[in-house]
Amino acid sequence: MSENPSTSPEIRAPIFIIGAPRSGTSILYEKLARHPDLAWISNITKKVPDSLLVTRLIGLFRDDHRPTEAKKIWGRYADLNESKPGRKDATPRATRFLRRVVRNNLKLFHKPRFLSKDCGNSLRMEFLDEIFPDAIFIHIIRDGRAVAHSTLRVRETKDRFWGIRPPGWKDLVDRPAIEASAMQWEWTLEAVRNSAEGLPESRYMEVRYEDFVDDPEGVLRAIGDKCGLEWDAAFLKELVSDVSSQDFKWRERLSPEEVEMLHGLIGKSLADLGYET
């Protein structure tokens, strides 16, 4: 399908929330998506994402727009099973498709800016940078011990490797789940930071989960400053009134032996990030 440049909205500095699974990407996405200037892929617009006409027809029967990750959309031309996608994967076909998806959501919601969250995009930064050369990446980082604990709880209900698949992930499949969860966090962190080295400072921002839950208003204002978004003070205060830390869980539920094992495995990364071990 071709686009009419005169009727297609401009894609300006789309915002991508990235980070290891269970790092707080979902709560940050949930809150940031409420900004009145932002459009995002919803549970309705993801169904036929490159057809605005079909999406509008679906909307006649369903009015249940909620922000989603849309993993299949971002992975259509940049699968994570075998290797880390790069610029060469940003083919003309992939570029047309993803830019059309973004424009459709901007047009449908009548918003000037676009927001997305998919942890898998932590491994697609070069791919996305090629397609959206002014994209802004917001990387949320959380204590690897909290991430490993939270990931472990999710993995208990799965019968296969869970979460995003950083390069070398197949080596983690047969390792104890808590070790695999910790390494998944560390490898994702390294992949994002390596990719971010090629970006100007204006297009990459690191946010700590611990700072966000301690001062959500302050962090969202800082993100707004980075991305050119202004917040209404009263709205923002109400928006984050239910944000609270969940970091007590790993401290209460991991055994001393498990904590010590994590320190031996990812202790250097924790220390480099300033976490006490």
Q: What sign for the dihedral angle of Cα 189, 160, 153, 219?
A: positive
* pLDDT at residue 210, as a whole number: 97
Q: Are 188 and 20 in contact (CB under 8 A)?
A: yes
Residue 79: is its pLDDT beyond 80?
A: yes
* pLDDT at residue 5, as a whole number: 46
* pLDDT at residue 2, as a whole number: 43
Strands (E), the chain: 15-18, 38-39, 113-117, 136-141, 204-208
Output the pTM of the full model.
Answer: 0.93
* pLDDT at residue 14, as a whole number: 98
* pLDDT at residue 59, as a whole number: 77
* pLDDT at residue 7, as a whole number: 61
- Strand, helix or coil for residue 222: helix
Mean pLDDT, residues 119-123 taken together: 97
Mean pLDDT, residues 137-160 taken together: 91
All structural domains of the chain with their residue ranges = 15-232+242-272
Query: Helices 52-59 & 92-109, crossing angle to 10 degrees?
Result: 40
Average pLDDT, the chain: 92
* pLDDT at residue 205, as a whole number: 98
What is the CATH architecture assignment of 15-232+242-272? 3-Layer(aba) Sandwich (3.40)
CA–CA dist 119, 179 (Å, integer)? 19
- The number of angstroms, rounded, from the C-alpha of 202 to the middle of its chain's C-alpha atoms is 18
* pLDDT at residue 62, as a whole number: 74
In this structure, what token pair is assigned to residue 171? 């080596």
When pLDDT is cut at 50, 70 and 90, the band that residue 82 belongs to is: confident
Question: For the segment 84-96, what is each residue's pLDDT rounded down to a tens digit?
Answer: 899 999 999 999 9
* pLDDT at residue 158, as a whole number: 77
In this structure, what token pair is assigned to residue 82? 């075998």
| Nearest one of 271, 246, 176 to 22, comparing CA atoms | 246
* pLDDT at residue 22, as a whole number: 95
* pLDDT at residue 64, as a whole number: 74
Question: For the segment 167-214, what is each residue's pLDDT rounded down to a tens digit?
Answer: 889 999 889 999 999 999 999 999 999 999 989 999 999 999 999 999
When pLDDT is cut at 50, 70 and 90, the band that residue 6 belongs to is: very low
Residue 159: is its pLDDT beyond 80?
A: no
